[in-house]
A and B are shown apart, each in its own frame.
Chain A
Amino acid sequence: MKMREFMSMPVRLQVDLLYHEGVYLGKRFEEDRSVLLYQIEGFYIEIGYRSYRLFIHSIRASETIDILEPYLDQIRIYDPDG
């Protein structure tokens, strides 16, 4: 899955794909909106909400790690060796 393919999908499919395959990375607030960050394969997706986890305001994707900066204190690193 390339970022371009993801962004060309209908929102309904984007949301279903994120739900089943996205890795949650963090949450932040922008003005009055909650924004959640997910990762799928090699790119990142931010979902902005007008009503938290119910009604989506915007979906933004990025392949650069700059998007991680506001979430760095929340990101959980999984160590398979324990």
Chain B
Amino acid sequence: MTQSATPRNIIFYADDDQDDLELVQDAFSRFSSNVEVITARDGSRALQWLQGIGKDDPKPCLIILDINMPVFNGKEVLKKIRTIEHLEDIPVVLFTTSSMPQDQHFAQQHNAGFVTKPLDVSQMEKICEQFINHCPDSIRQEIRGKNSRR
């Protein structure tokens, strides 16, 4: 689990693949003045971190979950998140290598986005925008606004 002390918009990302963790962290590095990416390496650690968020603590503006993770997979973590009262409204995106319709359907059923992992740099740029699009309006404007002024 990685976390800095600076209070910013938090994007929480759980994935067991170190390369994918670094890929997403790098993609958000251009928003580093106001976005912090906190990561977890499996579904259990993800849930532990998310369940540790108190009602008055800063909450992530977006949760990104890989589907194929050890201990609890991304779909199990998503289901749990939707049962935690003060987390249930946080936007969640399943970020996965899967393009299986049943996984996309699962995401829809649980009010989550579904984004397929990229295959090259042009797709990665679009995916970063897709992630930000899932954030609430005010945060989305804040992230883009601050970044465009840099």
Contacts and interface: CB of A to CB of B under 8 A. Distances in A.
Interface residues of B, number: 19
B119 A15 contact: yes
B124 A20 contact: no
B120 A15 contact: yes
Counting contact residues on chain A (CB < 8 A from B), the size range is 20 to 34
A59 to B, nearest CB: 10
Contacts of B121: 51, 54-55
Interface string B111-137: 000001111110110000000000000
Interface string A7-49: 0000000010011111110010000001010000000000100
Contacts of B124: 53-54
Interface string A50-65: 0111111000000000
Interface of B: 17, 19-20, 22-23, 68, 97-100, 102, 116-121, 123-124
